[in-house]
Amino acid sequence: MIKKLIRRILGKNKKADSPTEPAVIGPKEHRIDPQLLSPNAVRVTQTLQEAGFKAFVVGGAVRDLLLGVKPKDFDVATNATPEQVKRLFRRAFIIGRRFQIVHVMFGQEIIEVTTFRGASSEAAPKDEHGRVLRDNTFGEQHEDAARRDFTINAMYYNPADETVLDYHHGIDDARDRVLRMIGTPEERYREDPVRLLRVVRFAAKLGFTIDPATQEPIRVMAPLINNVPAARVFDEMLKLLMSGHALACLQQLRKEGLHHGLLPLLDVVLEQPLGEKFVTLALSGTDQRVRQGKPVSPSFLFAALLWHQVLEKWNAYRASGEYPIPALHLAADDVLNTQTESLALQRKIASDMRDIWAMQPRFERRTGKTPYKLLEHMRFRAGYDFLMLRCSSGEIDAEIGEWWTAFMEADGPGREALLTRKPKAEGENGGAKKRRRRGGRSKQKATGTDGGSE
């Protein structure tokens, strides 16, 4: 306790920021359950150690193990160079980019092996705002620890003797459920503004509080995100949205003032009252799927996040006299163009989003062969799930979704019956609105609720 208090008082002491010797914590104290470890991660550390290198499980996996959570993936840190690592494993690939790492493959599982990084040098090339552009030197383990973002992400676990090496009091912070930046927060955000998003993601995902010194600069430094290459922001946003806590993350981004003028996507999402229910439903559905271990598609999620922006533009194009289907495509173009520029939406994701949107008017045509054709669409399931979201949010009549659910589940005669049953269903609920669907809707003022069946 006293130790902790002294540390807090000396919080700004530079020397305390980069200790060279770690605290060594044994299994009785850390209580990590070895069952939660990936046998492949253990194999990698063991192989490296047998070849005479240091090797540890590191980062998010150690944090999760300490919290009793099964890590979703495992990173290993070592003093072996990427070449040395590669030689020790049959299926290992050096991945380039800013810093070389090695992917060691075991079936579906990839263990990411990183060589200890050196201290971020004063001389590292930076942009005019202080963002570090290249920083690829190898270094000592204590330097590698100091380079990591938060104290809870900077611990090393050695499966061989079950010890945790802790250079920055991460274990205390994990116990107190505090997110604390290593070093001086302002400097660390400046070096890499993506950390602004990471702090929010971890706080929301882990339910941790943010240490005041780590929190304080966030609001002021938020605009620095604008200088980060769009692809990196996109990667980090994807992690945030796929964290299983997307809704909490977006709320926290808003709370920290990080959404405004920062990411166009978030401006759109968080400031459109109409779409709020839709987005909330989409995000909580995604969170639920992630937590159940089910796959989620980024394109579905982005299609949902931007749907109300598409609707708005769709309506505008229709009001200016465009036919519904071309109007929808124009709206999709507009939205995708803006977002691709700023968010680096990958082309594949953008084209899947367009498919999901373009399918929506087709759900309204429930006669003849059209529904059968739609069922065969490659992305029918995504389109259908999207339709269900529109129904649940009250954007369109729930009856359409119910009809499609029944149609999907029915056998041949059942489907025929549904196709002919339609007039009766219309009479039963909301008939007046649906009867309009039969004709002349291109003249109707678009509301976004029933668009484009022609």
Q: What does residue 71 show for φ and ψ, rounded to 5 degrees?
A: -65, 150
* Tokens describing residue 256: 């920290």
Task: State the nearest-atom distance from the C-beta of 211 to ligand ATP, in Å.
Answer: 16
How many CA atoms does the CB half-sphere of 384 hold within 13 Å?
18
Residue 424 CB, nearest distance to Mg ion (Å)?
54
- DSSP secondary structure of 200-258: HHHHHHHTPEEPHHHHTTHHHHGGGGGGS-HHHHHHHHHHHHTSS-HHHHHHHHHHTT-
Tell me how crowded residue 122 is: count the other CB atoms within 10 A of its CB: 6
Phi first, then psi: what are they for 133, rounded to 5°?
A: -90, -45
Q: Write each residue from 174 to 213 as x if it is in contact with ligand ATP (CB under 6 A), else as -, in one continuous string.
A: ------------------x-xx--x---------------
Q: CB-wise, 198 or 362, nearer to ligand ATP?
A: 198
Q: Which does 142 bind (CB under 5 to 8 A by kind): Mg ion, ligand ATP, none?
A: none
166 contributes a contact to ligand ATP by CB under 6 A:
no
The distance of closest approach from Cβ of residue 238 to Mg ion in the complex, given in angstroms and rounded to an integer, is 13
Of the listed 64, 75, 173, 287, which one is catalytic? 75
Let me know if 127 is a catalytic residue. no
In the chain, how many H helices and how many E strands? 25, 10
Tell me whether residue 149 or residue 450 sits nearer to ligand ATP (CB atom).
149
With CB cut-offs between 5 and 8 Å by kind, which of Mg ion, ligand ATP, none does residue 185 bind?
none
Q: Catalytic: which of 17, 73, 172, 334?
A: 73
149 as an active site residue: the answer is: yes
What b/e string do you get for 103-116 counting C-beta neighbours within 10 Å, with b at 16 or more?
bbebeeebbbbbbb
CB of 302 to ligand ATP, least distance (A): 19
Q: Which of residues 239-258 bind ligand ATP (CB under 6 A)?
A: 239
Among positions 92-151, residues that touch ligand ATP (CB under 6 A) are: 148-149
CA atoms within 13 A on the CB side of 368: 4
Beta-carbon count within 10 A of 191 CB: 18
Cβ at position 59, least distance to Mg ion in Å? 6
- Does residue 30 bind ligand ATP (CB under 6 A)? no
Catalytic entry in 135, 144, 149, 355: 149
- Annotated catalytic residue 17: no
- Map residues 70-89 to x or -, x wherever contact with ligand ATP holds by CB under 6 A: --x--x--------------
Give residues in contact with ligand ATP (CB under 6 A).
Answer: 59-60, 72, 75, 148-149, 153-154, 192, 194-195, 198, 239
